[in-house]
A and B are shown apart, each in its own frame.
Chain A
């Protein structure tokens, strides 16, 4: 008994798209919420952002990054079943009329959220702006997977300028702010960029709501792994978030905590890659 994979498609040199049958989640998922999946019986519980929830299926953007995501890419195909998927988890964000809504993203989880969030925001009558940043052309997604179709304005940037605008979402956002076009910013991705995002929008008093990515185990507020310091108080990213006011997060702590298992993850990844090589998969 598992959850059948209905679609799998490469997005870029590092990211891929996977869709899983999960009607129990699809019927209740709302923008801002996430899921936790386990690839196989020995797998770990990994939080994942949601790209879409339709027809009883959950679509996710996934980065080939660690053991779980390698497993999903190399060992699972359409028709196979993953061991477990739970959700929706976390608090939805408030979808209402804000005016000009910007979604900024520079990593896989946020690229998924960009589409989902702006789609809902557009339906709620907002003017929607997407700024999607990728490292380079090879890491950039095919057009149909960008937030273009749900954004009134869409900016694609690469850090090396190999495609789109050269630069980061921060650069584009700064220009938009100066043109007085921003009522609220949503976003996510690299924690380091989010620190700078918070610094950029704060002096203008622009509300800035972002995903605070943290290591999670259960995802329901049971283990306390994903705790963050928010407005001087300890909050759990899974239960109280995952989206928080970027101006109230203690980013230094959040970045440190998110690197807690870096050594173990690297070791596990190396061992897994060696196994794949041995089997001739890569």
Chain B
């Protein structure tokens, strides 16, 4: 085999120009076409799977060199290439159009990539996304579904999945592939969890999410929206009807700042702000019935992906936006791509500002946020971040809209109702190494056990729990 030349630079993906995209919610990144995807795929030096650091870096262990190989091996037949690559991905992950878009690849698969030591790491996320998108556009995923669908002859049992976010969808997909009858219960009127209420169209178009979920339905998964488990049905009732239950209820409760003025009009939690926009399409009010008030100047508090999503959404609704973070730039937890996009689009960043009070006008509407200026010490905290302390200096930022994006806690609807379900002091569910909770046959994963984490870690849990559920049910029936 001819020696490959190392190409240090990534093949770029086109993006919608800034001036155009800030006027609408269209997806920003346009992704690869086949030719450029092949070019990028050619850069991969094909580490052997047992060594490949990218696989180790991926929480669901997608065979990354494998799918890249499949893609470029058939570079003269795009449909064949994509079909083979998709087959490799689906073995580990049934939702690549989602993960290809929202995973923090720079911290996971792409971080340890060997190519990254000599140049840019392989653009794994965009390649994964390309395979998923091309397959969807050319109905290749439909063909492949037949291969993956269980024909229903050896149905093994029934599993209830609570929550249709990344963890629940993954668990459901894996179990359906194994031949289980799976029912997903979702509290909202549409499935997707955080993917539908939390992530804006410009990062993950709803149409793509809907299609990914439709694949699960074709695999035999039933989705029941408008079911709040713990209220509509109890966990006990589920256990009477199903062989096992998977809880993937996420971290749905917003953390609030315990400072004066929190009830003022114009102050939203990121969850409310994004739910109104993403799920309820408030940016199309009054064509859609859900309103959202947005002022001339929005201050977003926080520095994670949610803060970026809220900031960029506010910008698209015509507001000037400042992100205020109590730490420094290096401690922001958002993906680099999202921070970069936010900056490009004109979001301003202010660091070392800790909010201490919301100031309202005579009508009870917010007009400013008072911050204490902070400074960083050399000493580091448990998370490896520099400790920060107040300086005693204060600053006012004018704002008629404020979005609080400082994190989430698990939603306690189930744990409050099912008293046998043990929780940690922070509200997360206690699970063992199989992801089984304190109730036999009830498993859990994702943010419900982690607190706030990423889509892909939730999917990793969904996959692991599916395997444990399979073993649990097999054992149950073999000993019966």
Contact = CB atoms under 8 A, between A and B. Distances in A.
Nearest to B254: A224
Nearest to B262: A234
B411 A220 contact: yes
A108 interface: no
Contacts of A87: 228, 231-232
A36 to B, nearest CB: 9
Contacts of B281: 42
A264 to B, nearest CB: 4
Contact of A256 (B227, B265, B275, B412): B265
Given A84-B189, A261-B291, A268 B286 contact: yes
A268 B291 CA distance: 9
Contacts of B287: 42
Given A28-B233, A86-B228, A234-B263, A67 B189 contact: no
B252 interface: yes
Contacts of B280: 44-45, 217
A79 B269 CA distance: 39
Contacts of B252: 220-222
A222 B253 contact: yes
Interface string A216-250: 01101111110111000010000100000000001
A25 interface: yes
Nearest to A85: B226
A222 B188 CA distance: 10
Interface in B177-191: 187-189
B357 interface: no
A241 B328 CA distance: 39
A220 B187 contact: yes
Nearest to A38: B189
Interface string B256-297: 101000110100110110011000110001111111010000
Q: Is the interface of A mostly helix, strand, loop or mixed?
A: mixed
Interface in B200-247: 224-228, 231-234
B364 interface: yes
Contact of B253 (A217, A221, A250, A272): A221
B413 interface: yes
Contacts of B412: 221
A155 B289 CA distance: 38
Contacts of A84: 189, 225-226
Interface of B: 187-189, 197, 224-228, 231-234, 252-254, 256, 258, 262-263, 265, 268-269, 271-272, 275-276, 280-281, 285-291, 293, 363-364, 411-413
Interface of A: 24-25, 28, 33, 38-39, 42-45, 67-68, 83-89, 217-218, 220-225, 227-229, 234, 239, 250, 253, 256-257, 260-261, 263-265, 267-268, 271-272
8 contacts: A25-B232, A33-B231, A86-B188, A86-B227, A218-B188, A220-B228, A222-B275, A253-B364
**Top 9 A-B residue pairs of the complex, sorted by shortest distance between their CB atoms:** A264-B291, A223-B272, A224-B269, A84-B189, A44-B289, A44-B290, A256-B364, A86-B226, A222-B252
